[in-house]
Amino acid sequence: MTTERDWQAARRRFVEDTEGAGGGASRNGGSRTLVAELGPLGDQFLALARDLFSVPPEAGVLGVLERIVERAHDLAPGASMVSVTLREANGSFHTPVETDALATRADHIQYETGEGPCVEAVADSSSGSTHSRDLARDPRYPRFGPRVAQLGMTAVVATGMFPESDLPRLGALNYYFSSAEHLDDVDEDMMLLLAAHGAVALQAAQRVEAERLRTAQLTDALQSRDVIGQAKGILMQRRGVDADEAFDILRRASQDLNVKIRDIATTIASRRAEL
């Protein structure tokens, strides 16, 4: 069984090697710290990576986020609710996944007031992890804190995704507690570790979805070009016009009927015998 001393020793080795390498890589390009040398911390690295990257590709970004929230709640069973905040390209925030709808309400108070651990953890200048043990009286959050306390939440921890990545951060994991005593049982190192792995898995899922969208758009464009080409050919034959004139007929019909050119072209191509 892994003892607390084992954990602390593994953490010290990890931090010392990471700081010494300026991010965890040795001069020869290899990892300075082998997973085996990290002991229980290394086991956690492997377990988290294996779990997050085992989400089926078809589950997409939402599937990865749901898995991240599940693991976050496993990591902090004393938390009343857990949520994920994502930052949009325009700097706004939204909560796509949570364990309780109340978490979305609490998150939105952070977004609305511009205060709270979540907002701080996502900020480019932050250390990546922020917490409050007494939301009702925390002087840092005079607008956010009391309002969330009225929802029954006493404390909150937020970890940025991804604390050691290139800026800007993708978002944050938010852990809400009904009692500050439950904070004594959480491991913020592991929270940061989950946030880091979660961000990598999320970025990978986003790239896969973006590629699927591009492929779908390309397929749709090619299909549209084909059917429009068929319709133009039919009009050229039936009306005795050239290609430009045939397309102009389609364009005018699209405007007059307020119907997409592709849809008109599909109708012409499918009913050519009736024309």
**DSSP secondary structure string for all residues of 86-103:** EE-TTS-EEEEEESSHHH
**What's the pLDDT score for residue 232?**
83
Tokens of 96: 């796509």
The sheet that has 129-132: what strands, in order across it? 93-98, 81-87, 171-177, 155-161, 129-132
Structure tokens at 115: 């205060």
d(CA 141, CA 135): 7
Encode the chain (275 residues) as per-residue pLDDT tens digits: 444 455 445 445 544 554 444 444 433 344 444 444 545 555 555 566 666 666 666 667 777 788 888 888 888 889 999 999 988 878 889 898 899 999 999 999 999 999 988 888 887 666 678 889 999 999 999 999 999 999 999 999 998 886 444 556 788 899 999 998 888 878 777 787 777 777 777 777 777 666 666 766 666 666 777 888 888 888 888 888 888 888 888 888 888 888 888 888 888 887 765 55
Region class of 68: left (phi > 0), else alpha (psi between -120 and 50), else beta: alpha
Spans of all domains in the chain: 214-274
Longest dimension (CA), the chain: 88
Query: Token match 């989400």: residue?
Result: 55
Residue 153: the pLDDT is 94
Token pair 């604390």: residue: 163
Q: What one-letter code names the amino acid at 198?
A: G
Q: What is the pTM of this model?
A: 0.60
Q: What is the DSSP letter of 170?
A: -
**Phi and psi at residue 68, in whole multiples of 5°?**
-60, -45
- The CA distance from 39 to 196, in Å, is 19
Decide: 4 and 28 in contact? Cβ < 8 Å.
no
Sign of the alpha-carbon torsion through 132, 11, 184, 188: positive
Distance separating alpha carbons of residues 169 and 123, to the nearest angstrom: 7
| pLDDT confidence of residue 19 | 43
Give the CATH architecture of domain 214-274.
Orthogonal Bundle (1.10)
Asked whether 196 and 163 are in contact (CB, 8 A), the reply is yes
